[in-house]
Structure 1
Amino acid sequence: MRIGILFGGQSREREISFAGGRTVYDNLNKALFTPVPIFIDSLGNFILLDWKYLYKGTIRDFYPAAEQLPPSPHFFQIYAESLQDQEAIDKSIAAIGKKLQPDELSQHIDFAFLALHGPYGEDGNIQGILEWYNIPYTGAGILPSSIGIDKEIQKAVLASAGFDTPAFTTTSRTSWVQSPQEVISSIEKSFSYPVVVKAPHQGSSIGVAIAKNQQELIDGINRAFFIQKIAPGMWKSWSDEQKRNFLLQFTDIREGLGFPVLVDGKLIHHPEELWLLLDESEKDELSLESPNGESGILIESFIKGKEFSCIVIADQDNQPLALPPTEIRKSSTLFDYRSKYLPGISRKITPIELPETAIQEIMSKCERLFTSLHSQVYARLDGFYTEDGAIYLNDPNTTSGMLPSSFFFHQAAEIGLNPSQFLTYIIAKSLEARTQAGKHIYQLNQLRANLNGQLKAIANAEEQRTKVAVIMGGFSSERHISVESGRNIFEKLASSDKYLPIPIFLTGNEDQHELYQLPVNIMLKDNADDIRDKIKANKAAHPVIDAIRTRAAHITDTYASGEALQLETLDYDQLAARVDFAFIALHGRPGEDGAVQQQLEQRGIPYNGSGVASSQVSINKFETNERLRKEGILVADHLLVHQEDYQKDKAQTLATIAERFPFPLIAKPADDGCSSAVKKIKSPEELEAFCEMMFRDTEAFPQGPKAALNLKDNEEFPQKNYFLVESLIGPEGADRFLEITGGMLTRLDNEGNLTYEVFEPSEALASGEVLSLEEKFLAGEGQNITPARFGDSREEYQRVAKEVKQVLEKTARVIGVEGYCRIDAFVRIYPHKVETIIIEINSLPGMTPATAIFHQSALNNMKPYEFIDEIIAFGFARKQLKTPIS
């Protein structure tokens, strides 16, 4: 069955939709379905997308096409609505795929999987188009979608169906613009602080604010109406860097107004145009307004209680079945966009920590609301449980987020469905739901019958698949990203008919590795610490989850073949008896230091990546730098700082560093990655604070150093007895200066010699002083330009890229890298020379869905699964060699 994945779209949630579409594309069972990516741009064009562009970090990384962008001296990435040239739009579409008219969709797809969010995606519009052209689709039909998109209509439906709702009022844009003080006074008469302000047609917490005082209420209302005030005088006082950062955030439609924007009635399409206008304006204040803002907003009383989210699905008898509701524990008051989608920022507790009767009551109400809204197939219902036992349901969603960490997959895992299996169930139930409309029933039933026959064939072929242990977690500051990488590997392998992945969680310490085979529900917990806590508690399944599993048995019997439901403790010997291969998805120690590899080699288990000796070198950034320098490869000047020396003579240690390295300098752990504790140190005070943080004797952050380094509460900052200081690498007068990351893959030729396929490097753009964790690994956050901007012409690019790739390959050979790796570097480009300065080697690079190595392998015509398959093939080939690799 050809499954058209519709993603992107015109709403402010298009980046999460883009990332969710990629998740669906990767996780669809390839033995059952052929995924067809249908990207919808922000102008509403349907584009049959070349699959390579799925693996870009953000939409703006590939669309509009770079060649069609207007000049931008400050290098702003823009969406298509900033282009005013139809020819440029058409050429951009042609560069990434083929434009389709709606009546052409049925020539390419049999079924539409909707990964769209917000207006045009969840409001019945796309559902109506698909019904007109007789294409079945996932989820709810036109009526429940049109109800689900409008928070004001939802309030009326909830009230009429007898559900509790918080007190609320509405205010119009006209009232706010004409009489803001009257609106504020009216709200303050009816509500006490805090109050909640909501844009009624947005999702992902866009346009939502919790106001604790009058100024926050004013700011929140402006935000919900997508209005922003700015004083040109203040603008003119900023540096160019401050101006650029303001406009970067402004252009980001998730947090800023985006473009085009109305400025005192004039429509501005590009950030460079707004920059000039603000430079030239003589007014005291300018009002910036989105032309697509809300006409009215909601003001609600604040509900104090436990916040939860509950996925409800239609069961085998088309009755609503609530999956176990998840409690959301936030690091801030608002469960905002970042909290929803970045692992580790908030915590998901499933089921919500309440008495069993209260959980059952929540589920019962969610099932009743599912019916009241005429929902079909599935819905996500959010709500609050208050201290006095009241349940408030709000903001039903007819399309859930589809990121790997989303509630959609998280709760399905509790009944034993992995993401690939759950997507299959959603497709099967959606086919059934479309038959209820009385249209094309024969065609739909044929699709259903074919799918059911294929499901039975797959279940019978289960034992023929290669068993792969996917080892994730660890005990370093990189453990959360390791889990994200491991889950991504698991999901890619689970959607194939070649591999049977088995999730293995590693914890413990360097002296004793503890291994656990995870059931899928524990594997999909929020982060490594949540998984470890679940393992340590080792409790029997919650009675509520047991009951749901019993109700869902018919579903799991059909769709969940091969998934373990029980946690199991293992050792390396037991692992060897259970699997054919081990995929190490660990980062830092253990994993990249050779410790796990040593255990696997002793038991004859083939594995991915570099061997023991190479891993022991590449984990140590100081030793790596020393070896590279001896081979004539450029690295930063570097120095190890030891806790023993610091504690013996703090002043002398700090003086020694300051004498050798001018400020600013770089300080970072010598054997950790993922940007953990990598800091640009600008003063002696910050250097001392870094030492105090790194050499602290408790896990808690000392307040003085924490403040000096501007650390967040949940930031990863390891405790070490040594760290690395490096000189800050700068442009040194180069014509171009870039930070890059370059991936590569190794193979064995017929004589057993190692050959390298070096990918086109990506240019990494940091919004701050160093690349953040979010920019490296969170979909929609980082700006990675692949290939890097080495030159304006193809000839210039190839000249520079050739030299850079030669240095990357030489670096890998010096360190003895095997399998694959990622090398980070800076590049200085002069008229007659190119300098590549190596920062670090990652022998087990991050493999999250958004990481740049997948963008690079895509340019070499490898989908992520194919890239992973190549990595595994090399591990098997290396194991079969009788002589060492040369």
Structure 2
Amino acid sequence: MGKKVRVALVYGGKSGEHDVSLQTALAVMSAFDYDKYEIKPFYITNDGEWRTGKTLLAPPDDVAKLRFAPDETGENALTPVLRGLSPAAAGEEAPIDVVFPLLHGTYGEDGTIQGMLEMANIPYVGAGVLASAVGMDKVIMKKLFAQEGLPQCVYRYFNRTQWEKDPAYFIMEVEVSLGYPCFVKPANLGSSVGVSKAKNREELIAAIDLAFSYDRKVIVEEFVDAREIEVSVLGNDEPKASVPGEIKSSNDFYDYKAKYIDGKSVMEIPADLPYETAEAAREMAIRAFQAIDGSGLSRVDFFLRKADGALLVNEVNTMPGFTPYSMYPLLWKESGLSYRELLDALIELAIERHAEKQRLDFGSGVPKS
């Protein structure tokens, strides 16, 4: 038996999606092949404190066991992550081969932890700093989609200072450009947290106030009577797209309740689409992934407008739901890649991307071969 790959799983975090992250972590821990991998869990509390558990010899059987107590030694849990991860600097073998961030939302999916891992020169799964940040900021994402020539719905955006200075102007902008109903969202957040559907001016103002409680920037999008189509993307420089799937929401729209609470939404895999539409979605998913400089994994979400069959890119999610029952792995399962094989592929892609970066000259003046 060869040497095991040592994987640090990081989950929890200072985010409204903390509990979703725990469910993802439990699913991933349960799916790894412990004959191939050695798993070290790192839990981040709601307050941002890092805590570490013992190396796993077998997966935990309950999500409650993922919330570790503070380290009795008093050592900051970040220390074992960062210490010795550069063998050349430490003069010894790195204790961790790759980090797998399983953090959804703020301080995890937005480029922050990715930046820390880049500074420490640690291989990690998923999107890099730029793609993570862009994937979290719906406004910047949509601007890049427009640059790429990808069709999307009409939207407007503004920050808190602009809104407080002249709310009447932005209300007029929304009513003239988008009309009612429309969707109001925090620009930087996931899992539909803080998202509202506004049917009139009173609801619009209330929705904007709610969105500003989550972020300093708000985006308002036109209502599109459409089917919700999703495609999974996997890869680095040569990404591949899965078959498309469709979300049939149990709610008025696919909000947090419909995603995680009532359990009544339906995922249709593969989506019942004409061949040409399915292929167009796959091609556009790869273009959207590359537009934000994606790597590792992403789920790309679309609207398929009922009136004319137009396919509109909605957003790219760089850390999609990742339990065995989530859309991202289910789409790959339908495309011929099992959950365990998907984990193997993501680890390989992370190590591949890190090795590629080691060829770069970071200031020595001597190019690396």
Give the TM-score band, short-chain normalised.
0.7 to 0.9
Equivalent residue for 2:314? Answer: 394
Aligned residues: 343
Equivalent residue for 1:371? Answer: 290
CA drift of 1:109 comes to 2.1
Cα distance in 1 for residues equivalent to 2:229 and 2:74: 40
Letter in 1 for 2:295: Q
1:200 and 2:204 are equivalent in the alignment: no
Q: Kindly indicate whether the alpha-carbon contact (under 8 Å) linking 1:39 and 1:47 is maintained by their aligned counterparts in 2.
A: yes
Structure 2, gaps ≥5 residues long: 86-93, 361-369
Cα distance in 1 for residues equivalent to 2:73 and 2:335: 39
1:313 and 2:320 are equivalent in the alignment: no
Cα distance in 1 for residues equivalent to 2:27 and 2:133: 25
Q: Kindly indicate whether the alpha-carbon contact (under 8 Å) linking 1:2 and 1:111 is maintained by their aligned counterparts in 2.
A: yes
**For residues 816-855 of structure 1, what are the structure 2 equivalents within 5 Å?**
none
Letter in 2 for 1:390: A
Q: Kindly indicate whether the alpha-carbon contact (under 8 Å) linking 2:304 and 2:312 is maintained by their aligned counterparts in 1.
A: yes
Cα distance in 2 for residues equivalent to 1:33 and 1:122: 24
Instruction: Assess, with a 3 A threshold, how the Cα gap between structure 1 residues 3 and 300 changes in structure 2: closer, same or farther.
Output: same
The secondary structure found in structure 1 opposite 2:202 is helix
Equivalent residue for 2:140? Answer: 153
Equivalent residue for 1:45? Answer: 49
Equivalent residue for 1:12? Answer: 16
Q: Kindly indicate whether the alpha-carbon contact (under 8 Å) linking 2:23 and 2:63 is maintained by their aligned counterparts in 1.
A: no
Give the structure-1-normalised TM-score: 0.37
Equivalent residue for 2:341? Answer: 421
Equivalent residue for 1:358? Answer: 277
Letter in 1 for 2:277: A
For 2:358, which of 438, 445, 451 is the aligned residue?
438
Equivalent residue for 2:259? Answer: 340
Cα distance in 2 for residues equivalent to 1:97 and 1:394: 45
Instruction: Assess, with a 3 A threshold, how the Cα gap between structure 1 residues 96 and 176 changes in structure 2: closer, same or farther.
Output: farther
Instruction: Assess, with a 3 A threshold, how the Cα gap between structure 1 residues 145 and 134 changes in structure 2: closer, same or farther.
Output: same
For 1:28, which of 18, 28, 32 is the aligned residue?
32
Cα distance in 1 for residues equivalent to 2:103 and 2:252: 27
The secondary structure found in structure 1 opposite 2:52 is strand
Cα distance in 2 for residues equivalent to 1:386 and 1:96: 57
Deviation string 1:711-740 (CA, Å, 9 cap, x unpaired) is xxxxxxxxxxxxxxxxxxxxxxxxxxxxxx
CA drift of 1:99 comes to 3.0
Cα distance in 2 for residues equivalent to 1:309 and 1:362: 8
Equivalent residue for 1:139? Answer: 126
Of stretches 121-130 and 168-177 in structure 1, the one that deviates more from structure 2 is: 168-177
Equivalent residue for 2:7? Answer: 3
CA drift of 1:373 comes to 1.8
The secondary structure found in structure 1 opposite 2:224 is coil
Letter in 2 for 1:126: I
**For residues 159-238 of structure 1, what are the structure 2 equivalents within 5 Å?**
159-177=146-164, 179-226=166-213
The secondary structure found in structure 2 opposite 1:137 is coil
**For residues 782-801 of structure 1, what are the structure 2 equivalents within 5 Å?**
none
The secondary structure found in structure 2 opposite 1:309 is strand
CA drift of 1:224 comes to 0.8
Cα distance in 2 for residues equivalent to 1:356 and 1:294: 40
Deviation string 1:756-777 (CA, Å, 9 cap, x unpaired) is xxxxxxxxxxxxxxxxxxxxxx
Deviation string 1:105-160 (CA, Å, 9 cap, x unpaired) is 73642210111112221222211211222221101222212221111101110001
Give the structure-2-normalised TM-score: 0.85
**For residues 606-617 of structure 1, what are the structure 2 equivalents within 5 Å?**
none
**For residues 39-78 of structure 1, what are the structure 2 equivalents within 5 Å?**
39-49=43-53, 55-57=62-64
Structure 1, gaps ≥5 residues long: 64-91, 227-292, 441-886
Cα distance in 2 for residues equivalent to 1:20 and 1:105: 28
Cα distance in 2 for residues equivalent to 1:356 and 1:37: 43
Q: Kindly indicate whether the alpha-carbon contact (under 8 Å) linking 1:29 and 1:424 is maintained by their aligned counterparts in 2.
A: no
**Once the two structures are aligned, what percentage of the paired residues are identical?**
31
Q: Kindly indicate whether the alpha-carbon contact (under 8 Å) linking 1:193 and 1:212 is maintained by their aligned counterparts in 2.
A: yes
**For residues 678-757 of structure 1, what are the structure 2 equivalents within 5 Å?**
none
For 1:116, which of 103, 113, 117 is the aligned residue?
103
**For residues 442-841 of structure 1, what are the structure 2 equivalents within 5 Å?**
none
CA drift of 1:186 comes to 3.7
Letter in 1 for 2:260: Y
Deviation string 1:481-505 (CA, Å, 9 cap, x unpaired) is xxxxxxxxxxxxxxxxxxxxxxxxx
The secondary structure found in structure 1 opposite 2:191 is coil
Higher relative contact order (Cα pairs below 8 Å, separated by 6+ residues): 2
CA drift of 1:349 comes to 0.9
Deviation string 1:742-763 (CA, Å, 9 cap, x unpaired) is xxxxxxxxxxxxxxxxxxxxxx
Instruction: Assess, with a 3 A threshold, how the Cα gap between structure 1 residues 155 and 58 changes in structure 2: closer, same or farther.
Output: farther
Rg (Cα) greater in structure: 1
The secondary structure found in structure 2 opposite 1:408 is helix
Instruction: Assess, with a 3 A threshold, how the Cα gap between structure 1 residues 176 and 120 changes in structure 2: closer, same or farther.
Output: same
Q: Kindly indicate whether the alpha-carbon contact (under 8 Å) linking 1:200 and 1:297 is maintained by their aligned counterparts in 2.
A: yes
CA drift of 1:439 comes to 5.2
Q: Kindly indicate whether the alpha-carbon contact (under 8 Å) linking 1:382 and 1:393 is maintained by their aligned counterparts in 2.
A: yes
Q: Kindly indicate whether the alpha-carbon contact (under 8 Å) linking 2:230 and 2:246 is maintained by their aligned counterparts in 1.
A: yes
Q: Kindly indicate whether the alpha-carbon contact (under 8 Å) linking 2:29 and 2:60 is maintained by their aligned counterparts in 1.
A: no
The secondary structure found in structure 2 opposite 1:3 is strand
Q: Kindly indicate whether the alpha-carbon contact (under 8 Å) linking 1:47 and 1:98 is maintained by their aligned counterparts in 2.
A: no
Equivalent residue for 1:298? Answer: 219
Deviation string 1:290-338 (CA, Å, 9 cap, x unpaired) is xxx31110011111111111111128xx422110111110122211123
The secondary structure found in structure 1 opposite 2:281 is helix
CA drift of 1:37 comes to 0.6
Q: Kindly indicate whether the alpha-carbon contact (under 8 Å) linking 1:49 and 1:97 is maintained by their aligned counterparts in 2.
A: no
Equivalent residue for 2:327? Answer: 407
Cα distance in 1 for residues equivalent to 2:47 and 2:251: 35
Cα distance in 1 for residues equivalent to 2:15 and 2:303: 27
Moved over 6 A (4+): 51-54
Q: Kindly indicate whether the alpha-carbon contact (under 8 Å) linking 2:52 and 2:71 is maintained by their aligned counterparts in 1.
A: no
Of stretches 175-184 and 117-126 in structure 1, the one that deviates more from structure 2 is: 175-184
1:349 and 2:353 are equivalent in the alignment: no
Instruction: Assess, with a 3 A threshold, how the Cα gap between structure 1 residues 370 and 216 changes in structure 2: closer, same or farther.
Output: same
Cα distance in 2 for residues equivalent to 1:98 and 1:197: 43
Equivalent residue for 2:367? Answer: none
CA drift of 1:95 comes to 6.5
CA drift of 1:96 comes to 11
Cα distance in 2 for residues equivalent to 1:157 and 1:326: 24
